[in-house]
Amino acid sequence: MAATLVLESHSEAQTEALAAALAGMVDAPLVIALSGDLGAGKTAFSRGFVQAMLGERVVVSSPTFAIMQSYVGGAWPVYHFDLYRLAGPEELEAIGADEALFEPDGVALVEWASLAGDWLPQDRLDVMLEITADGLGRRVLFRAAGLVTTQLLHRFRQEYHAG
């Protein structure tokens, strides 16, 4: 099973809102792999997602130095990764992050996901953020490659277009 969806976001608030809408539909653990240039909105997406999951306005910034930041207290725990300074995929095991990625009990949001190499599961939701040519908008491409994520993306597509 596979699915794709392309949306446009015209503001940081809109990117947060679509991530929040997605967070409200999660009904099983999953990995969300975020990619896109610096400033594309990966952290904005993560912030909207975490705040919706926790139901409160927590501060969410790139966990660049910590590599992973956990948020508990919501319907599902959220593990927010920023792999920008990861020395190599093996470092994920060293910090004990392999469990959050391979046997998740919640949602793993992974910025600079490609740096994880083979450490990302095949069944994941890829979210690719692209800065549009005028530099103002963002194109948000979703791609699901497994049962859980494809079903989630189908629900998201229906709800997001309807609402």
Ligand X SMILES: Nc1ncnc2c1ncn2[C@@H]1O[C@H](COP(=O)(O)OP(=O)(O)O)[C@@H](O)[C@H]1O
11 binds, among Mg ion, ligand X, none (CB under 5 to 8 A by kind): ligand X
Q: Across the strands, what pairs with 30?
A: 107
Q: Which residue has the tokens 């594309």?
A: 40
Q: How far is the CB of 151 from ligand X (least distance, A)?
A: 26
Nearer residue to ligand X within complex by CB, 36 or 104: 36
Cα(51)–Cα(57) distance, integer angstroms? 5
Identify the CA nearest to 68 among candidates 111, 129, 20, 19: 111
Nearer residue to Mg ion within complex by CB, 10 or 85: 85
Nearer residue to ligand X within complex by CB, 11 or 158: 11
146 binds, among Mg ion, ligand X, none (CB under 5 to 8 A by kind): none
Q: How far is the CB of 104 from Mg ion (least distance, A)?
A: 20
Nearer residue to ligand X within complex by CB, 39 or 73: 39
Half-sphere exposure of 2 (CA within 13 A, CB side): 5
Q: How far is the CB of 135 from ligand X (least distance, A)?
A: 8
Using CB under 6 A as the criterion, which residues of the chain lie in contact with ligand X when the complex forms? 9-12, 14-15, 36, 38-44, 62, 111, 137-138
CA angle 91, 71, 125 (to 5 degrees): 65
Using CB under 5 A as the criterion, which residues of the chain lie in contact with Mg ion when the complex forms? 42-43, 62, 111
40 binds, among Mg ion, ligand X, none (CB under 5 to 8 A by kind): ligand X
Residues 6+ apart with CB under 8 A from 110: 31, 32, 33, 34, 81, 83, 101, 116, 120
